[in-house]
Structure 1
Amino acid sequence: MLLIVVILTAIGCSGKPGTNTPELANQQEPAVPSPDPTPEVVTPNVPDVTTTPAPTEPEPEPENPLNNEPIAQNYHMTSNYYIKPNDENDNKKVVLLTFDDGPKEEKMLTDLLDILDKHNAKAIFFVNGYRIKQNPELLKLIHDRGQIIGNHAWDHINLKKENAEKIDQQISDVQTIVKELTGELPVFFRPPFGAANDEVRAKVKEAGMLFMTWSNGSLDWADNVRKPQGVIDSVMEQLAPGSNILMHEVAWTVEALDALLTKIEEQGYSFIDPRVIELEAR
């Protein structure tokens, strides 16, 4: 009897495995708290204070004293290179100042230009191309100071000894470089050494330039005149109405120039502006 009770008790306590354990499929995971949301950044409505800088106006280019109204050409050059008025009643006591073989050196050139300004004088600077290539800023200085640039060939050579092609190159290349640097073409030509032939003259005329040598040589290239007083004496001895005075960009001539121009003025002469000279000799 006792055995039967034990068996029945055991059967009553047994059951299907897992009937008292909840199924995992129905089990919910504990809720994970969400992080606090990032607060929205509100940009304040600030007025735009950024200002656009005012456009910078380009600096005006320095005024070129030659950029004026056309000047009447009321003087001409004679066959022996003197300057004469077209009207016999106009002033005959004028001289033409010219300087060859530059541009060379800034200090000397600046002094020369300052002296011309002091006497309100214009001059023709007959320049060599190879010197322009060495000193382009000095060519611009001559132009910007209101002086006149003339063509003196690329090299300082005797053009009479050169063929037509070489002559053309010597003249044309100077025209080109002066035009590039100043915006203007030379209208006066002086051959190195004053030496030329028909070929040279024809090329100069074709280029629209007036051919000239000189009528009054300062002799500032001669050994016995390479001092200021020698230059003054040489010019004054040859001075005449319409003198076409040849000088060079050399130290002793620049040193003499102020006194020389003063003496010329004291003789009643004035300095002609080359722009009033016709481009055809008579």
Structure 2
Amino acid sequence: MKKVVKATSALLLTAILLASCSNGDNSGKTVNNNAQPTAAATETASSSATALAAQGNDAAEASAPPQATPAGSSNTGGTAGGSTATDGQATTSGDAGTAQPSGETNPAEIPLLYHMNKNYDIVPNEEGTNKKVILLTFDDGPKEAEMINPLMDTLDKHKAKAIFFVNGYRVKEHPELLELIHSRGGIIGNHSWDHIKLKDESYTEVKKQIEDVQKIVKEVVGETPNFFRPPHGAGGDVGKKVAAENGLLYMTWSVGSLDWEMKEKDANKTEKLITNVTDQLHSGSNILMHELPWTVEALDTLLTKLEAKGYSFVDPRSIELKMR
């Protein structure tokens, strides 16, 4: 019996030893058939997939036909029409609220380079300033838009300014014509209310004739005239006195075109007008013309001839308002 027990014990001991050896071979090793890929492995795989996708997109873009650009648009990021787009809003360059009319200069920026002498000629204030200048003036308006517009077109063509001496009764009848002259850059002058010979009138009447024009021009265009020309060139001492009291530069003219003496039926009116002016021409000429059809017709040729002789056209706003 003891032998049986010993044998059994030996067998059990052997079995235990064999089991221990088997466990020892697998120590430190863990087998997990459900284990997930590591983060590094996942990132590597993801990077590889992304790289392949990017290569595929590059290849697709390289082989795709170019996209059409809409007319008027730019693919360079620049601006069109002087504006830039920011957050979907167009911003136009410049200050729309303070824009000046095309070709206009702020009067405050125009230096006073000239004055008028006792012969009513325009004279430079200093040596070195161009003296070969001409002052252009038109009397007895405003009459008709059909004459004003072509006159202004010609002045614009030659980059010239002119004084338009207006009568009050005409302004009252057609204030829109005064607005037209002003809006197109014409300089408004005072030519009395009724176009009468002021030298024969009382101080009270002359004062009314001049100051009523100042008032109506102010009402229509927001500015009062700085220049006064008496009708018929006959203001007398009383006209000069009232003009001075209103801060107006009194003038007649030094070159007459004689367009007012011409009649509709007369032949060669434009040629005669041009000859009348060029025969009297001199530096500082203060040229008198009128709103008349033949003057409108002659003006472009006249100004072209004057320029060919080396003359330029003075801006009336550069003339001092005191004779000397």
Match for residue 139 of structure 1?
178
TM superposition score normalised by structure 2: 0.67
The verdict on how the C-alpha distance between 1:186 and 1:66 changes in structure 2, with shifts beyond 3 A counting, is farther
Could you tell me how far apart the structure 2 residues matched to 1:222 and 1:88 are?
Answer: 38
Per-residue deviation, 1:171? 0.2
Match for residue 93 of structure 1?
132
Structure 2: which 5+ runs fail to align? 1-95
Contact residue 195 and residue 231 of structure 2 kept, 8 A: yes
SS of match in other structure, 2:282: coil
Match for residue 257 of structure 1?
299
Could you tell me how far apart the structure 2 residues matched to 1:248 and 1:88 are?
Answer: 33
Match for residue 123 of structure 1?
162
Structure 1: which 5+ runs fail to align? 1-58
AA aligned to 1:179 is K
Per-residue deviation, 1:69? 3.1
SS of match in other structure, 1:245: strand
Match for residue 33 of structure 1?
none
Could you tell me how far apart the structure 2 residues matched to 1:68 and 1:236 are?
Answer: 30
Could you tell me how far apart the structure 2 residues matched to 1:132 and 1:269 are?
Answer: 32
The verdict on how the C-alpha distance between 1:66 and 1:143 changes in structure 2, with shifts beyond 3 A counting, is farther
Q: How many residue pairs are counted as aligned between the two chains?
A: 224
Match for residue 316 of structure 2?
274
Match for residue 272 of structure 2?
230
The verdict on how the C-alpha distance between 1:261 and 1:242 changes in structure 2, with shifts beyond 3 A counting, is same
Please give the per-residue CA displacement for 1:175-220, whole angstroms capped at 9, x wherever unaligned.
Answer: 0000011111100000000001211111100100100000000010
| Residue of 221, 231, 250 corresponding to 1:182 | 221
- CA-based RMSD: 1.7
AA aligned to 2:232 is F
Match for residue 38 of structure 1?
none
| Residue of 115, 121, 138 corresponding to 1:82 | 121
Per-residue deviation, 1:68? 4.5
Contact residue 100 and residue 152 of structure 1 kept, 8 A: yes
Match for residue 213 of structure 1?
252
Contact residue 66 and residue 146 of structure 1 kept, 8 A: no
AA aligned to 2:255 is N
Per-residue deviation, 1:62? 8.0
| Residue of 142, 146, 160 corresponding to 1:107 | 146
Please give the per-residue CA displacement for 1:91-144, whole angstroms capped at 9, x wherever unaligned.
Answer: 110000000000001111101000000000000000000111111111011111
SS of match in other structure, 1:101: strand
AA aligned to 2:286 is N
Contact residue 101 and residue 248 of structure 1 kept, 8 A: yes
Per-residue deviation, 1:63? 3.9
Could you tell me how far apart the structure 2 residues matched to 1:100 and 1:235 are?
Answer: 16
Match for residue 243 of structure 1?
285
Could you tell me how far apart the structure 1 residues matched to 2:302 and 2:262 are?
Answer: 19
Could you tell me how far apart the structure 1 residues matched to 2:226 and 2:241 are?
Answer: 14
TM superposition score normalised by structure 1: 0.76
SS of match in other structure, 1:131: helix
Please give the per-residue CA displacement for 1:227-253, whole angstroms capped at 9, x wherever unaligned.
Answer: 111111100111100000000000000
Could you tell me how far apart the structure 1 residues matched to 2:323 and 2:203 are?
Answer: 23
Identity %: 59
Structure with bigger helix share is 2
Per-residue deviation, 1:222? 1.4
Match for residue 111 of structure 2?
72
AA aligned to 2:163 is I
